[in-house]
Structure 1
Amino acid sequence: MSVLNYIDSHAHIYSEQFKPDRNEAIRKATEAGVIQILMPNVDHTSIDVMLQTEADHSESCLAMMGLHPCSVQKHFEKELYTVESWLNKRKFIAIGETGVDLYWDKTFLPQQQEALQIQVDWAKKFNIPIVLHTREAFKEVFEIIEQNQDGSLQGVFHCFSGTAEEAQQVIKLGFYLGIGGVATFKNGGLDKVLPEVPLASILLETDCPYLAPVPFRGKRNEPAYLPLIAKRVAELKKIPTEELVVACTANTKKLFNL
């Protein structure tokens, strides 16, 4: 057993890709020292399986509630009603994941911005953090968060792969950077960014089943690979892995009130 306690701050362990061996993947994660797995929601189709995973693994898996920007289309209000009704029904650790994604399609940018604003309001109302997706859309998300930051908003720019300047903007807002498998990629760019980022601003994540770290790049990612990400981040920061993990676990507990 690992002596270090890791928390995977962003993992779609409930996804279809884990259907054949979800329990096994969670067991492997526990053996690797991953004590908790935080699960962002996608849309109405992911809620049941996510909540079932939480119920089956209540000691480790914790659910968020939100609407992913890739699921925001013409009739996104219906999706948001579902999210809101769940938020009123029970407690969740965060709003998420939400944000803007301009990688595949820019058609619904106004709707994505509106959906994000509504979810920012919920984060304030329910006094829980917000988990942000910013693929090809850092500026668009940052503007909305900056406008709404009155000191009460907390959260993380998940899967951060931006510039050193963008990292400093996030930190200045009082938000965290979610660092995952991209940190291990040769041309991921984070080798230039992470040395400048204070330990107090970093969360570790896998974003599984996506973005598996080297040497598993291109394969299915899973929470058991989190130590590989931690090791690389520690190398880039020139500190012992233990120091990094202790800090990141404390940061995650603080943000999500665990």
Structure 2
Amino acid sequence: MVLTDTHTHLYYETDAAKQKEMMQRCLDNQITRLFLPNVDAASVPMVAQLVQNYPQNCFSMLGLHPCSVTKNWETELETIKASWNQNQKSYAVGEIGIDLYWAQDLLAEQQQAFRTQIKWAKEASLPIVIHCRNAFDEVYAILKEEHDEKLRGIFHCFSGDLQQANQIIELGFYLGIGGVVTYKNAGLDKVVQQIALEHLVLETDSPYLPPVPFRGKPNESAYLTYIAQKVANLHQQPVEMIAETTTFNSKKIFWV
């Protein structure tokens, strides 16, 4: 069995010994593929170091997080793009998108940065990994405008309703399912139950959004097994089948 965490910030753990222990817990739980999104220029080398330490297991995704978009977002973005030309392979552009929970005052800048990075992804034949918080309509409007055969990727940390899920799927995107699916009152479990597995990938977004029974504690990629088991229960399938299908989906997205 191979499990794939399509979205983890495991590199935030800067203590080398603790980071090594976290990676070992992943490998012990057959989580052998981890995709690492940076959030800004400063986090690019952090991602690169973890990829260097585990080249068979960790894969870079480079982009500018919407919460990192400032007035000088263009300069920050150029710094990140420059790293593409310094032998740091990127398997996706992300995480990118719009956040109107933490960063309501810079919507125009976030929209511009999102469009710019979508353009880069298309030019490089890369998928995008979308961060969307309190901004579904704004994100969806841009995706509709940009929609063509080159636009593909993951709607990271999906927590919307069935109608929104179907809108995303119709554009050819996959839904990133994380710890929220285990939350009793979130309602995501009922949505996931109605979505075919061919449209899903798994993620932790560690250290955020830990699944039950770890709510209130830092998340880590090793907890992906709890998310996989929940999806297995919802679809009444063996967890091995969930692992196989979602890992296959991830390979279709990232081409690795």
TM-score range, shorter chain: over 0.9
Structure 1: how far apart are the matches of 2:132 and 2:170? 17
- Percent identity among equivalent residues? 45
The answer for the alignment partner of 1:172 in structure 2 is 170
Partner-residue secondary structure (3-state), 1:253: helix
Report deviation, 1:17.
Answer: 6.5
CA 1:19 to 1:208, structure 2 compared with 1: closer, same or farther past 3 Å? Answer: farther
> Following superposition of structure 1 onto structure 2, how do residues 1-258 of structure 1 map, counting pairs within 5 Å?
4-16=1-13, 21-90=18-87, 91-258=89-256
Report deviation, 1:16.
Answer: 4.0
Which AA in structure 1 matches 2:250?
T
Which AA in structure 1 matches 2:54?
H
Which AA in structure 2 matches 1:235?
N
Q: Indicate if the aligned counterparts of 1:17 and 1:209 stay in contact, CA closer than 8 A.
A: no
Structure 2: how far apart are the matches of 1:195 and 1:57? 34
Q: Indicate if the aligned counterparts of 1:68 and 1:97 stay in contact, CA closer than 8 A.
A: yes
Report deviation, 1:233.
Answer: 1.1
Q: Indicate if the aligned counterparts of 2:34 and 2:59 stay in contact, CA closer than 8 A.
A: yes
Q: Indicate if the aligned counterparts of 2:44 and 2:80 stay in contact, CA closer than 8 A.
A: no
Partner-residue secondary structure (3-state), 1:232: helix
Structure 1: how far apart are the matches of 2:248 and 2:133? 26
Report deviation, 1:240.
Answer: 2.1
Report deviation, 1:146.
Answer: 1.4
Which AA in structure 1 matches 2:80?
V
Structure 1: how far apart are the matches of 2:137 and 2:235? 26
Report deviation, 1:143.
Answer: 1.1
CA RMSD of the aligned region, Å?
A: 1.2
Report deviation, 1:19.
Answer: 5.5
Report deviation, 1:237.
Answer: 2.0
CA 1:72 to 1:20, structure 2 compared with 1: closer, same or farther past 3 Å? Answer: farther
Which AA in structure 1 matches 2:95?
E
Which AA in structure 1 matches 2:64?
L
Structure 2: how far apart are the matches of 1:157 and 1:163? 13
Aligned length: 255
Partner-residue secondary structure (3-state), 2:216: coil
Q: Indicate if the aligned counterparts of 2:13 and 2:19 stay in contact, CA closer than 8 A.
A: no
**TM-score in terms of structure 2 length:** 0.96
Report deviation, 1:200.
Answer: 0.6
Report deviation, 1:218.
Answer: 1.3
Structure 2: how far apart are the matches of 1:155 and 1:18? 31
Q: Indicate if the aligned counterparts of 1:66 and 1:96 stay in contact, CA closer than 8 A.
A: yes
Task: Name which of structure 1's ranges 118-127 and 231-240 shifts more when overlaid on structure 2.
Answer: 231-240
Structure 1: stretches of 5+ with no match in the other structure: none
Which AA in structure 1 matches 2:29?
A
